[in-house]
Structure 1
Amino acid sequence: MTETAGTAPSISAEQATVEAELTRNVLRSFEDCPDPRLKQVMQALVQNLHAFIRDVRLTEAEWNRAIDFLTAAGHITDDKRQEFILLSDVLGASMQTINVSNEAYKNATEATVFGPFFVDDAPQIPIGGDIAGDAAGQPCWVEGTVKDTDGNPVPGARIEVWEADEDGFYDVQYADSRVAGRAHLFADQDGNYSFWGLTPTPYPIPHDGPVGKMLEATGRSPMRASHLHFMVAAPGKRTLVTHIFVTGDNLLTCDTVFGVKQSLIKDFVEQPAGTPTPDGRGLDGQNWSRTRFDIVLAPEIP
């Protein structure tokens, strides 16, 4: 056997035959699968997984470590923390799935990662309401329109928004069952929406578990670029899951989950204390910011 720099060792023809035959046998085991799509997915998974194992010449010790890693990810996962989503995110699998599932369509707003901190049943607020609750941070006025790709308003579009506080934590990461930094609202008849939130700040993904240890071992940062989450839905339209990011954030080029897209980077314009707010809200001498995010929904694919 020989080995060259940066490559796996070569193997004998006999060994290659043994390995290839196993792959063929596993592929054949799915031939009678009654669901054509499931058959396609499982056979492609086997083909690529076996190719990876053979390419890196995976050892039994490494395989055991991988099993231990996945077991630890399962143990730390609960109803408030999803370690497998984090793993998918930091490997770029979440973002690639989104790219594949949300093909570009005319001028529709681009999608990005969902993240592990969305929860159902966020409180409803009126247009101009406040999603922050008791979450700490600088107030931020967010406004925009929801339209279709032909420029027509999408009245009544449901807009879910959620974000971390200035300390980098979502409400579900606290132990006191608070609900803060999240809400939903509906666009008006002209597709307009607005709300008060918090100026986004950077934060690390949870890195006290196996995914964090993997990032540390590979010399990667757990930091996410500053962002505000949106999920926008309307009848006949493709549901949009996306964020907006902050112009000038030095993490835009190294977001740990690869979620940043140029079209989603927005100006969050600082407003000095005492600047009149769009709705007349008094902010007790606080600085605040404002941004605009106009949303374009693609048609639903049948």
Structure 2
Amino acid sequence: MSVEEPGGDREREPDGDREQEPDVDREQAVTDEVLASFAKTADPRLHQIMDSLVLHLHAFARDVRLSQQEWDAGIDFLTRAGHITDDRRQEFILLSDVLGLSMLTVAINEPKTPGTTEATVFGPFFVDGAPEIPLGGDLAHGAAGTPCYVSGQVLAPDGSPIPGARLDIWGADEDGFYDVQYPDGHTAARGWLRAGDHGEYRFWTVLPTPYPIPHDGPVGDLLTATARGPMRPAHLHFKVTAPGYRTLITHIFVAGDPYLGNDAVFGVKASLVVEVGHYRDTPAPDGSHGAGAWTRMGFDLVLAPEEIGF
């Protein structure tokens, strides 16, 4: 095959084995024709997005000299991702996560308000219609794991409380599985509650553990082919909403987890890492769990006002 040194000329080989030189004019004509097809797009933002998508996608194909077989493999990959996606599994979000696109989108859109809680990836396991629990209630719903008492306040950047904020929380059990990964359709380690009059929140769940993202599908095949691991460090998911404030999507991560520096979806931020207290045969703050092992995490959630730009 031909060899090309940086800044040098391509070595010449016999005509039968010579790598075909790109027909730049023909390739550019294809790109120009596609761009022209979007010229009458009424929505200027859609027009901008489609033009940029075409330019970057075509530039990628030219840069790697994409073969027909590689194009076929890419289409097959996306087809398999579509087939495995259903109302309980979202392979395309998973793909976005492992490519870093999810975290890049978070970084682009995150408000610049000082002192607010940093955002991270949404993940593929959020479910609408999770059960409501009372303040201080148990959203584990029988999930396997060490009981964990989680508490804190929902606050504005100036430190004032945000009473009545809604907190949706979901996490994995001690075996590293979310409820939606089980075939019986049960709900566990998932629920939502309202913050109290002083912005306080508290609930019981199970201590999160590290787990692999689903890797029995095309995204897993991609990780294997690129010598990457599927593991995520232990964490709980939060979605926090309140009138007048931007929705916060974040995690709290368990301090000391071995995968904090090697998260398959690039979601770890130092400000979200939380120390865990471990207790045995000691009453919890609500007077429960006087016998046996339990754990505790505390974390305040600071929301950005809607009117603050980014």
Same fold? TM cut 0.5: yes
Q: Is 1:223 aligned to residue 228 of structure 2?
A: no
Take 1:253 and 1:184, find their aligned partners in 2: how far apart are those partners? 30
In the alignment, what sits opposite 1:125? Answer: 133
Q: Is 1:288 aligned to residue 294 of structure 2?
A: yes
Does the aligned pair in 1 maintain the 2:236–2:251 contact within 8 Å?
A: yes
**Deviation, structure 1 residue 190:** 0.6
Identical amino acids, percent of aligned pairs: 57
Q: Deviations over 1:9-40 (max 9, x none)?
A: 97988712221222122112111100000000
In the alignment, what sits opposite 1:84? Answer: 92
**Deviation, structure 1 residue 2:** 5.7
| CA pair 233-223 structure 1, distance change in 2 beyond 3 A | same
In the alignment, what sits opposite 1:239? Answer: 247
Question: In structure 2, the residue corresponding to 1:97 is in which secondary structure?
Answer: helix
The higher radius of gyration belongs to 2
Which structure 2 segments of 5+ residues have no match? 11-18
Q: Is 1:256 aligned to residue 264 of structure 2?
A: yes
Take 1:4 and 1:265, find their aligned partners in 2: how far apart are those partners? 47
| CA pair 123-5 structure 1, distance change in 2 beyond 3 A | farther
Q: Is 1:299 aligned to residue 299 of structure 2?
A: no
**Deviation, structure 1 residue 139:** 0.7
Q: Is 1:181 aligned to residue 224 of structure 2?
A: no
Take 1:41 and 1:53, find their aligned partners in 2: how far apart are those partners? 18
In the alignment, what sits opposite 2:68? Answer: 60
Does the aligned pair in 1 maintain the 2:163–2:199 contact within 8 Å?
A: yes
Question: In structure 2, the residue corresponding to 1:114 is in which secondary structure?
Answer: coil
Does the aligned pair in 1 maintain the 2:282–2:290 contact within 8 Å?
A: no
Q: Is 1:211 aligned to residue 219 of structure 2?
A: yes
Take 2:102 and 2:49, find their aligned partners in 1: how far apart are those partners? 17
Does the aligned pair in 1 maintain the 2:282–2:289 contact within 8 Å?
A: no
| CA pair 13-60 structure 1, distance change in 2 beyond 3 A | closer
Q: Is 1:278 aligned to residue 285 of structure 2?
A: yes
Take 2:118 and 2:58, find their aligned partners in 1: how far apart are those partners? 34
Q: What letter corresponds to residue 145 of structure 1 in structure 2?
A: Q
| CA pair 114-147 structure 1, distance change in 2 beyond 3 A | same
Q: Deviations over 1:211-246 (max 9, x none)?
A: 111111110101111100000000010000010001
Q: What letter corresponds to residue 91 of structure 2 in structure 1?
A: E
Which structure 1 segments of 5+ residues have no match? none
Q: Is 1:4 aligned to residue 12 of structure 2?
A: no
Q: Is 1:146 aligned to residue 154 of structure 2?
A: yes
Does the aligned pair in 1 maintain the 2:282–2:291 contact within 8 Å?
A: no
Question: In structure 2, the residue corresponding to 1:127 is in which secondary structure?
Answer: coil
Q: What is the number of residues matched between the two proteins? A: 299
| CA pair 14-145 structure 1, distance change in 2 beyond 3 A | closer
RMSD, aligned CA:
1.9
In the superposition, the TM-score normalised over structure 1's length comes to 0.94
Does the aligned pair in 2 maintain the 1:30–1:39 contact within 8 Å?
A: yes
In the alignment, what sits opposite 1:48? Answer: 56
In the alignment, what sits opposite 1:196? Answer: 204
Q: What letter corresponds to residue 281 of structure 1 in structure 2?
A: S
Q: What letter corresponds to residue 300 of structure 2 in structure 1?
A: D
Q: What letter corresponds to residue 127 of structure 1 in structure 2?
A: L
Does the aligned pair in 1 maintain the 2:283–2:291 contact within 8 Å?
A: no
**Deviation, structure 1 residue 301:** 4.0
| CA pair 150-13 structure 1, distance change in 2 beyond 3 A | same
In the superposition, the TM-score normalised over structure 2's length comes to 0.92
Does the aligned pair in 2 maintain the 1:104–1:110 contact within 8 Å?
A: no
